[in-house]
Amino acid sequence: MNRVEGRVKVTGLATYAAEYPVEGVTYACPVQSLIARGRVARVDVSQAMEMPGVLGVLSVDDPPELAEDADGELALFQSRDVAYRGQLIAAVVADTYENARAAADAVRVEYEPADHDVGLRADHPRLYRPDVVNPNLPADTEQGDVEAGLAGAATAVDVTYTTPVLHNNPMEPHASLALWDVEGRLLVYDSAQGASPDRDTIAKTLGLPPARVRVVSRHVGGGFGCKGTTRPQAVLAAVAARAVGRPVKVALTRQQMFDVTGYRTPTIQRLRLGADDEGRLTALEHVAYEQSSTLVEFAEQTATPARTMYAAPALRTAHRLVRLDVATPSWMRAPGECPGMYALESAIDELACAAGIDPVELRVRNDPETEPESGLPFSSRNLVACLREGARRFGWDRRDPAPGVRREGEWLIGTGVAASTYPARRRPSQAVARVRDGDFLVQVAAADIGTGARTALTRIAAETLGVAPGRVHVELGDSDLPDAPVAGGSMGTASWGSAVVRACEELMKNGKEGRADTTEEIKGESELARHAFGAQFAEVRVSAVTGEVRVPRLLGVFAAGRIVDARLARSQFVGGMTMGLGMALMEETLTDEEFGGFLRRDLAQYHVPACADVESIEAVWLDEQDDALNPMGCKGIGEIGIVGTAAAVGNAVHHATGHRVRDLPITPAKILLPAS
């Protein structure tokens, strides 16, 4: 299907959070810390208050009333302690955006700076093992004897990879517009990935019952995770509106997004793999080092895909965390799986090279019968079929495994493969379906962050009701609609769609209205390992002169259950693979060791792939029947496209050049390093 809101989007009629026309609106602009650690001694607002149009200033000198247990990143102006450079420490409200921004520049802050530490190292003295990693998994797992497995291996590799800080860069910057009505109920137009959880978090932060808050996010211009949790601009808009008694809009700049809307933690990952002389794993160990802030523990599940991917008699995974003077990391497309599979799938390629076994074949030989760590049967697992189909389409059988031997002029040519995986979960959701004017209205507080969720749910409802999609109208993006989980973890369609199907089934029974809540249905699920799988293939051309890497071909083959809509699905897969291409070759936020915070805080310096970087990306999928998932039989597809892409590109660069770059991104300087 074409997107049902496509027409309003391309004609500019779709209203995003910052665009709602509101009478008497005012603007808040934050003031950010210039030190990475220490205390705010004094905030001098005298000059700012004299500036034109200024209505008020909020700061630690006069903190807004918030709940005691507010999340550390949302407890605005509650503490004089500075946790990271860029943290919000004050804000100015004025009649126009320009006046607010000028006055924010005129706020003078006196600091008591302290020494900071923003550097992640694998030998950091404050590394510790978190109790759990996201979403609530054991930090460490171990079975069998890794040392014995490595000692007895015919081939072994011990390799360390690093991935940098990465930032989500949705086209629409974060924005919130807050209005309090006369009864003291708060309305927030927010750029958020879930109206219900955003409402709950805003209410909790302000110490209000959830019924006193409404969040509306009808259209969202991308999120990828950075709008999956409530961000400080929403709280700032709410407290500023309460302070000045007028509606307040906060629209973050691209630079401010880099500071306060989360980022993918940098990782250091050590992989030790051993294999027998037929390439069967004798041991697999994956240890991930990552960071969080001093405010909040965010422990990314980087090493968890190793618990699912390959059969090994000895399997150990571990996560170590260090709390630094940095902003709290957050979700970025396939948090955990994406960086974790970059390292694991690169190491598998190194093992295949060392063993002299084809990397597709090596993966096939290590495909497990049941999930290695849990022992659970898979609801469905078609990784081998993806690898075989990808190899066939890509022409893999014609590949000469020797690295660094294909050359056309200055261009070295190589191909690489990597596997992909992502969990297929769902969460409880509610939905309502009713007859309206002879057609059908479906309501659910789902979020369409540009994925086509509104369209997918229209199709799911139409198929359940047995009517044309044009007769179904889906309303989402409003917390006053039936409660629904976040658009995250590739769970949106599976979660909301389950509720929509049940509501439509109920409607067909009584002819008027159907209400659904899938809480009990999900509680009753059988225990199975539910994951989507895929195989990524890349061809690269590497300039022997400049070190430039071009990617003429990417192919992804996915097994993700039933595909609800081919056009929407292709867009998700190709989008994910494009983001993976960016991760492989260009995306990197530099940490400012000297002053704290980040360097490269705009799109001129933080490069994401543009059309010219993407030559041919093909995404296909296998028809996969899996009845143990949800009524649609679908697995999530929002994130699996990015998983494995960077490893496939890196493996292809090695095949082209004979040089293994183990630190992302693979820049020309790193390619040319061995020659210099």
Task: Provide the binding-site residues for ligand MOS, judged by CB under 6 A.
Answer: 193, 223-225, 228, 331-333, 335, 488-489, 639
Tokens found for residue 338: 């994406």
Q: In the complex with ligand MOS, which residue's Cβ is closer, 372 or 492?
A: 492
Considering the complex, what minimum distance in angstroms separates the CB of residue 335 from ligand MOS? Answer: 5
- In the numeric block, the tokens 């890349």 are attached to 538
For residue 452, the minimal CB distance to ligand MOS (Å) is: 15
Q: Which is nearer to ligand MOS, 261 or 651 (CB)?
A: 261
Q: Which is nearer to ligand MOS, 339 or 514 (CB)?
A: 339
Phi/psi for 570 (5° steps) reads: -60, -40
Nearer to ligand MOS, 198 or 539 (CB): 198
From the list 413, 414, 304, 312, the residue with the least C-alpha distance to 362 is 312
Residue among 313, 190, 330 nearest 251 (CA): 190
Nearest to 215 by CA among 190, 180, 182, 245: 190
Asked if 360 and 387 count as a contact pair (C-beta separation under 8 A), the reply is yes
Please report the sign of the dihedral spanned by the C-alpha atoms of residue 629, residue 633, residue 639, residue 642: positive
Asked if 476 contacts 220 with a C-beta cutoff of 8 angstroms, the reply is: no
d(CA 344, CA 422): 14
218 near 184, Cβ under 8 Å?
A: no
By residue count, the chain amounts to 676
Shortest Cβ 72–ligand MOS spacing (Å): 20
**Residues marked as catalytic:** 639
**Which residues on neighbouring strands pair with residue 291, listed in sequence order?**
322
N- to C-terminal Cα distance for the chain?
52
* Strand arrangement, sheet containing 439-443: 472-475, 439-443, 430-436, 513-517
432 contacts 471 by C-beta, under 8 angstroms: no
Phi, psi values for residue 258, rounded to 5°: -60, -30
Task: Tell me the C-alpha to C-alpha distance, in Å, between residue 474 and each of 9, 17, 143, 459, 599.
Answer: 16, 19, 48, 10, 42
How far, in Å, CA of 391 to CA of 648, rounded?
Answer: 13
- Buried (b) or exposed (e) across 281-320, using 16+ Cβ within 10 A? bbbbbbbbbbbbbbbbbbbbbbbbbbbbbbbbbbbbbbbb
Neighbour count for residue 68 (Cβ, 10 Å) = 7
Nearer to ligand MOS, 27 or 224 (CB): 224
CB of 633 to ligand MOS, least distance (A): 21
Taking the least distance from each CB to ligand MOS, the nearer of 585 and 642 is: 642
Q: Which residue is nearest to ligand MOS (CB)?
A: 225
Q: How many Å separate Cα 15 from the centre of its chain?
A: 24
Question: Taking the complex as a whole, how short is the minimal distance between the CB of residue 289 and ligand MOS, in angstroms?
Answer: 21
Q: Which residue has the tokens 């190709």?
A: 574
The distance of closest approach from Cβ of residue 574 to ligand MOS in the complex, given in angstroms and rounded to an integer, is 17
Complex with ligand MOS: residue 488 or 514, whichever CB lies closer: 488
Closest approach of Cβ 450 to ligand MOS, in Å?
12
**Smallest gap, in angstroms, from Cβ of residue 457 to ligand MOS?**
18
Judged by beta carbon, residue 299 or residue 661, the one nearer ligand MOS is 299
CB of 300 vs ligand MOS, minimal distance in Å: 11
Three-state secondary-structure class, residue 163: strand
- The nearer residue to ligand MOS, 164 or 279, going by C-beta atoms, is 164
8-state DSSP, 643 = T
**Is residue 423 within 8 Å of residue 489, measured between CB atoms?**
yes
Rg (CA), the chain: 25
**Residue of 494, 587, 32 lying closest to 259 (CA atoms):** 32
CB of 458 to ligand MOS, least distance (A): 22
Side chain identity, residue 224: F
With residues binned 3-state (H G I as helix, E B as strand, rest as coil), the percentages for the chain, rounded to 5, are 30, 25, 45
Q: Which of 137, 225, 161, 134 is nearest to 642 (CA)?
A: 225
Looking at beta carbons only, is 416 or 638 nearer to ligand MOS? 638
Residues in Cβ contact with 542 at an 8 Å cutoff, skipping those fewer than 6 apart: 411, 412, 413, 414, 548, 549, 550, 653, 656, 657, 671
* 134 vs 366 by CB, closer to ligand MOS: 134
| 26 neighbors 103 (Cβ within 8 angstroms) | no
**Residue with smaller CB distance to ligand MOS, 225 or 452:** 225
CB of 200 to ligand MOS, least distance (A): 17
Q: Please, what is the minimum distance in Å from the beta carbon of residue 339 to ligand MOS?
A: 12
451: number of Cβ within 10 Å: 24
